[in-house]
Amino acid sequence: MGFKSRRERARKEHEFTSKSERDSMNESIQNERERREKKEKAKAVLETQMSYKIVKLFSRLMDDWCLDPIIGLLLPEAGDTITAVMSIPYLYVSAFKIKSYALTVVILKNILLDYLIGLIPIAGDILDFFIRSYNANYKLIVGYVEDDKETIRKVKKSALLSTLAVVFLFAAAFLTLYAWYRLLAWIFG
């Protein structure tokens, strides 16, 4: 017993490791290098693709240059639908390029929430100046592409709740559009 503990203490103090421990450590280091190289290659390919460039451009146009709220103000109700449709590239990149269900459902939740908030007359358009869903979705995509552990952890943690929110938000969007349809049908009759 004393011999074993002295050996372990000497290993720790002098950082001695057995051949199997060194081999295991070297294998882990090599595996991590290969994983990072594979991730870097995938990132380089993704960044050259048109869909990724569109996502980056829409993030700048819609949120940085405030086109999302401006379109909503100029074209009430229809403008919010147009800007929601312009979010499709985000879904495409997350679902088909990055291939992450968790990321896709969180992005879809953000899109639907932005859409429903934009449908609120006047207040929704004002809120669109402050709620930057295009930038948020772009940052999520970049976090996944750059293998940001914190972004990935947050997305995976909120995936189940986002799935439930998407179901609720789809129902709310449908009911809102149906109510507008019924109101217009009643008015114009």
The 10s digit of each residue's pLDDT in 13-56 is 766 667 777 788 888 889 989 988 988 898 899 899 999 999 99
pLDDT at site 150: 95
Query: Given this model, what pLDDT does residue 99 score?
Result: 93
Can you give the pLDDT at residue 4?
Answer: 62
The number of C-alpha atoms within 13 Å of 107 and in the hemisphere containing its C-beta is 31
Stated pTM of the model: 0.76
Instruction: State the CB neighbour count (10 A cutoff) for residue 137.
Output: 28
| CB neighbour list of residue 111: distance below 8 Å, 6 or more residues apart | 84, 87, 90, 91, 133, 137
pLDDT digits (tens, 9 = 90+) for 46-94: 899 999 999 999 999 999 999 999 998 898 878 888 999 999 999 999 9
The pLDDT, as a whole number, for residue 15 is 66
pLDDT over 90 at 182, yes or no: yes
User: What tokens were used for 23?
Assistant: 């081999």
